[in-house]
Structure 1
């Protein structure tokens, strides 16, 4: 078992000893939504998991799947091994589901356009799939919530605006409202349905409220967010408006608000940022918390606690984003558009402690907060989720937590949409596996590629071209758990951040500096090259590839570099023009004589996609490489470390017939990757071996772009 458990110790946001507690939440399983498709269905169709709920006994999950227009069901009687129960066709787009006992109440949008919204609430037996009842909602529903005693249901009727109409702003009639429906004998009582008018309350477009999310406390009071109106309404059980107030604004400081720089720099500010909340949850009968996603103008990137009388009790500011950045999950491409985008939320009590589970949709994480003092929430954990977590349900009676993750990247050959399960149990947290220290200037990071061992427990790692304006060499301390980035050294050319680099490998030069291997791409004018970088991060020498090698060029170049005496050895990711099929070059460069040479490495043939090399490390009598395919999840077949006898590494002349080296399998990494309970990650990219023989392996998280952002860094001997 490769996963090391640890205590979170962020100076910025994560409380000391947070994950040292007796119990923590850890992911134990995941379920891909295509697994619920019937035999013969096209599993390459897009599917999704958006809003999720659970049966009263905690054994069956139900989630909305908008692309397939179905309600998906999962048996979690064994939560570590979730099983498909199939889909229920809905005849429209499901927007929410609430399960009361064994009845699933599904809000279904049947609108033809924004100006004639329509929808209904359908009740289904969760076991048989039979429809038990249906109520017309006279509008487009968004979210649902039910009273803890199961007596009634609240539905937010959003009647959302058309973002393409006019200037895309509210108001656009018809206005939304809130529907309250009594529940009886597992069915909705349509005769009891009543529309609660919430017009005339907000300062922004009072004539056009757009209710987004709703929650009900133990007193039967209904909290509703009007997202685009930046407003919160509190209703009584009978629909009386008890109170309403503006969600207000936040002065954000220390954020990254620009995505064009391909860099993480938390030095900007946004004054008076409207919160525009999405989810709302009651903490207790007097306090509620909102997730400040934004939508039209706002997005304060965090969360806010209010007393139900409208008094602001706590504002998170940029602290949640900072903690996410330390964990390597900050989505730079969303910097100008709501950053990590908090959206979904759940409040539940485990072992007497009320926790908030806050979903960051664009960062693909869950912030776990101790909410015992609503005026002083404490971040206890950051959990990894699938791509774009949209819904979350707590099952405290079984010590379980579940998220629904909506992004399905089937068209791009990426991860499918997933439901992910977590258990609250004895033991320390298993994630994150790498953080930045949080001391002094915040170090944002991502897209870790090549690594090399330093002195003692130190590693050095580089980021790749995702951060094109911020090429960096990171110093990592592996003596602490999780491993911690303690410093970031910018790689510069003529005093400015070096451009046109795709750093995929790093090795030490023996004089305090480094050699860096850059994978070229002709279509982006990035050269295939070696760079000598001094201890200050300055590029002192650039070594271009020889003509004999470039004559056979493809875009799949250097993936790793290591040093043996005066020779640098670089692994080529895939075949170049003169390589035999399923063979790639290990290219050599002599730093003293400037000679070039190579040997051939025999890689596995790929049934689907491709296989190639992603790292190379020399140690003693062996040279180690990572060989991997480009497949994800259940399709992954090859994620392995092999070793080559150093005696085989005798470079032959480029253009001549090259020696084929022998290889021996050292470790299959797929079981390691499965141990984190998610899907098998694609890019195993980093390998380093400490002086004591400890192997460290890491994955590239693609800069949290069409990726869950999960970075796995683990060790073994």
Structure 2
């Protein structure tokens, strides 16, 4: 990797004292351990590599543009070093784009995979390609490419297609409902699939979430699949959920409510950790045994602690990062794992996600006939588990916070729109005395409900967890909002389809979603993509208990009028919007001999490439 003069990047590597590492998460709720059963001691590994006094810096190289805006035309990415090709999920076209990145500054489209057609050709039981929906994920292991595809009716079982990385179709195998993410074990012999199992729009059909294991030891042309279910965790089952696992008020069973989102696999391939985003939990999978060992709640982040503040309102005139009487539910999207001094850590991007189920309706009367509880401009809501703090009182429910005086002189002041009134919180957490059937029917509170705690969606951070004990060893606190406020000023907390600042403060802020970990020059680095405001956060996580901010880079132009560009048919000037996934390419696998990051940007439909350069230490 090229060496850069450190003074050229001083603004990327230096932060004011306010951004000192925010390890102050004392007081956050505890949680159970993440690991399954202890294994036998392994052989002595090779001597460790001494880290050098150096840092890294990202530099934008180039991008491929699909020309599709806000159509999910560039989502999940992976890379094959043998062919120098990146594989990008293009949900807009329903295919996988193959990009030639031999020249990383000028990636070009080399071809596409019509995955639905290939699966339909191999599965006679399917009524053609139209029975399948969008591709959701890709993964590469050696010369093998796997693609997850949902059914046209998302509550039906989806499929996984297997290809050679030269594009040759090999086989297809059935997965669970809404296969959302793929991960290979390091040896490539097992493919794990997270099947999210979301309900349909009126919540009348709710398939179980599940995890499919695809055994490839017999060759990719002869995959053998089995799907692991969560039924043992149902009421009266043989296994018990850990503390603080969130279950929807409307759910028919725990197994139906659990929604696997993302998978990371240990270096030895023996254990996998699966993000159950809406449940604020992780599932631990014993891969060899083919068993879900445990489901572990992640606890909550105390936004009332110094260093854990956030901007809670889009009506407060700009940036206002401060402590509030809120508990953040981590609700991670992406996960990665890495090992330091024999201990494996799980890293999470704490996006947050609500449950909103609706159908189309032409009128309020039609919505009512469908069984919906609220109609809004063509949307008929059947279940919604979020509410603005100010609207809790309008519903007839009450708020009784024991620590109110720390944050406001009275409840009216606290719930003002410029304070905490606008932020969305979870309806079925921190509440008591709700009449039977109120939350279960619509997700919304009614008169009689009393909120003693307020729980917000996500944690606006990334976290590092000890896989043995489940302990939270690091959280980035308020870093993401503090850094973006300092760097972007009026672009702070903008959404990913509009450059208006402060727009997402009342929702989930910058929404950390994409995540990658890389070992470079003896150090471990985390790359975190912020889905809403955009850009990549870089941290040195070599010391898991004291991760250090390194850089924030954003290739978005906040001076542009996005609506005008889109209406004009050419929005390339705005840059990259909505990073959805990140793939690190080490220097020895890179087409130009320099380490790279490949980033899929969902809203702009672009795939961006960055050089990862070494910066000499002092």
Could you say which TM-score interval applies, normalised by the shorter chain?
0.5 to 0.7
Alignment of 1:136 with 2:174, yes or no, is yes
Question: How far did residue 68 of structure 1 move?
Answer: 0.7
Match of residue 696 from structure 1? none
What is the aligned counterpart of 1:312 among 461, 465, 472? 472
In 2, the alpha carbon distance for the partners of 1:165 and 1:327 equals: 42
Question: Could you tell me whether the CA contact under 8 Å between 1:75 and 1:82 is conserved in 2?
Answer: yes
Contact 1:66 1:95 (C-alpha < 8 Å) held by counterparts: yes
Answering whether residue 344 of structure 2 is matched by residue 286 of structure 1, we say: yes
- Following TM superposition, by how much is the alpha carbon of 1:239 offset from its aligned partner in structure 2, in angstroms? 2.4
CA distance in 2, matches of 1:44, 1:378: 35
Deviation at 1:382, TM superposition (A): 0.8
Residue 75 (structure 2) aligns with: 50
> CA distance change for structure 1 residues 395 and 31 in 2, over 3 Å: closer, same or farther?
same
The answer (yes or no) to whether the contact 1:14–1:323 under 8 Å persists in 2 is: no
Cα pair distance change 1:192/1:306, threshold 3 Å: same
Map 1:433-452 to 2 at 5 A.
Answer: none
- Name stretches of at least 5 consecutive residues in structure 1 with no aligned partner: 35-42, 409-416, 430-717
SS of the aligned residue for 2:546 comes to: coil
Partners of 1:382 and 1:355 in 2: how far apart? Answer: 13
Shift of 1:261: 3.8
Kindly provide the CA deviation profile for residues 646-682 of structure 1, in whole angstroms up to 9, marking residues without a partner as x.
xxxxxxxxxxxxxxxxxxxxxxxxxxxxxxxxxxxxx
Residues 267 and 338 in structure 2, CA contact (< 8 A), matched pair in contact too: no
Q: Do the aligned partners of residues 137 and 426 (structure 1) sit closer, same or farther apart at CA in structure 2, a change above 3 Å counting?
A: closer
Change (3 A) 1:23 1:379: closer
**Secondary structure class of the residue paired with 1:278:** coil
Q: Quote the offset at 1:182 in angstroms.
A: 1.7
Partner in structure 2 of residue 246 of structure 1: 297
Alignment of 1:230 onto 2:255: no
Q: CA deviation at 1:263?
A: 1.8
Q: 1:44 to 1:393 in 2, by over 3 A?
A: closer
Change (3 A) 1:186 1:64: farther
1:165 aligned residue: 202
| Counterpart secondary structure, 1:333 | coil
1:98 correspondence with 2:268: no
Q: Which residue of 2 aligns with 1:274?
A: 329
CA pair 24-283 structure 1, distance change in 2 beyond 3 A: same
**CA 1:428–1:372 in 2, change beyond 3 Å: closer, same or farther?**
closer
Between the aligned partners of 2:325 and 2:484, the Cα distance in structure 1 is 19
Q: What secondary structure is seen at the aligned counterpart in 2 of 1:159?
A: coil
Instruction: Find the counterpart in structure 2 of residue 110 from structure 1.
Output: 151
Residue equivalent to 1:667: none
Correspondence for 1:391 among 561, 567, 581 = 581
Correspondence 1:583-602 to 2 at 5 A: none
**Counterpart of 1:26?**
59
The CA distance in 1 between the partners of 2:597 and 2:148, in whole Å, is 23
Q: Provide the TM-score with structure 1 as the length reference.
A: 0.52
* Counterpart contact for 1:56–1:100, Cα < 8 Å: no
Residue deviations 1:188-210, cap 9 Å, x none?
64324333436443632233210
The 2-side partners of 1:349 and 1:270 are apart by: 38
Q: Secondary structure at the match of 1:255?
A: coil
Alignment of 1:346-425 (within 5 A): 346-385=516-555, 386-396=576-586, 397=588, 398=590, 399-408=595-604, 417-425=605-613
More strand by share: 1
Displacement after TM superposition at 1:260 (Å): 2.9
Partner SS, residue 181 of structure 2: strand
Query: Which one scores higher on RCO, CA 8 angstroms, separation ≥ 6?
Result: 2
- 8 Å Cα contact 1:345-1:391 kept in structure 2: yes
Q: Are the structure 2 counterparts of residues 366 and 428 from structure 1 closer, same or farther at C-alpha, using a change threshold of 3 Å?
A: farther
Residues 1:130 and 1:26: Cα distance change in structure 2 (over 3 Å): same
**Alpha-carbon shift at residue 172 of structure 1 (Å):** 6.7
Contact 2:186 2:267 in 1 (8 A): yes
Distance of aligned partners of 1:311 and 1:267 in 2 relative to their CA distance in 1, 3 Å threshold = closer
Secondary structure in structure 1 of the residue aligned to 2:583: strand
Report the CA distance shift for 1:46/1:363 in structure 2 as closer, same or farther (over 3 A).
closer
- Does residue 212 of the first structure (1) align with residue 261 of the second (2)? yes
Q: Does 1:299 align with 2:458?
A: yes
Q: Report deviation, 1:376.
A: 1.1
Please report how far the alpha carbon of residue 355 of structure 1 lies from its aligned counterpart in structure 2 after TM superposition. 0.9
**Structure 1 residues 251-283: Cα deviation after superposition (integer angstroms, max 9, x where no partner):** 124311111345222235252221111111102
Does the aligned pair in 2 maintain the 1:159–1:174 contact within 8 Å?
yes
Hey, what does 2:492 align to over in structure 1? 330
The SS at the match of 1:228 is helix
Counterpart Cα distance in 2 of 1:317 and 1:176: 31
Q: SS of the counterpart of 1:321? A: helix
Q: How many angstroms apart in 1 are the aligned matches of 2:215 and 2:222?
A: 5
Match of 1:194 in 2: 227
Check conservation: 2:70, 2:603, Cα contact below 8 A: no
Tell me the distance in 2 between the aligned counterparts of 1:406 and 1:384. Answer: 15
1:122 to 161, 165, 173: 161
* In 2, Cα distance between equivalents of 1:426 and 1:318: 27
**C-alpha distance in structure 1 between counterparts of 2:290 and 2:276, whole Å:** 16
Alignment of 1:546-695 (within 5 A): none
Distance 2:20 2:77 in 1: 28
Match of residue 15 from structure 2: 10
Distance 2:513 2:529 in 1: 6
Instruction: Choose between structure 1 and 2: higher helix proportion.
Output: 2
Query: For the residues of structure 2 that align with 1:273 and 1:304, how far apart are their CA atoms?
Result: 13
Query: 1:70 and 2:75 equivalent?
Result: no
Deviation at 1:307, TM superposition (A): 1.1
Whole-Å separation in 1 of the counterparts to 2:265 and 2:613: 28
Distance 2:71 2:333 in 1: 25
> 3-state SS of the aligned residue for 1:138?
strand
1:137 match: secondary structure: strand
Counterparts of 1:32 and 1:428 in 2: how far apart (Å)? 34
How many residues align structurally? 399
SS in 2 for 1:347: strand
In the alignment, the residues of structure 1 paired with residue 145 and residue 610 of structure 2 have an alpha-carbon distance, to the nearest angstrom, of: 22
Deviation at 1:183, TM superposition (A): 2.2
Q: Is the 8 A contact 2:199 2:207 kept in 1?
A: no
Runs of 4 or more off by more than 6 Å in structure 1? none
Q: 1:292 to 1:270 in 2, by over 3 A?
A: farther
Q: CA deviation at 1:5?
A: 4.1
User: Relative to 1, partners in 2 of residues 1:256 and 1:45: Cα closer, same or farther, differing over 3 Å?
Assistant: closer
- Any conservation in 2 of the 1:231–1:246 contact (CA below 8 Å)? yes
* Contact in 2 for aligned 1:181/1:188 (Cα 8 Å): no
Cα deviation digits, residues 222-269 of structure 1 (max 9, x gap): 110111111111111232334432111111243111113452222352
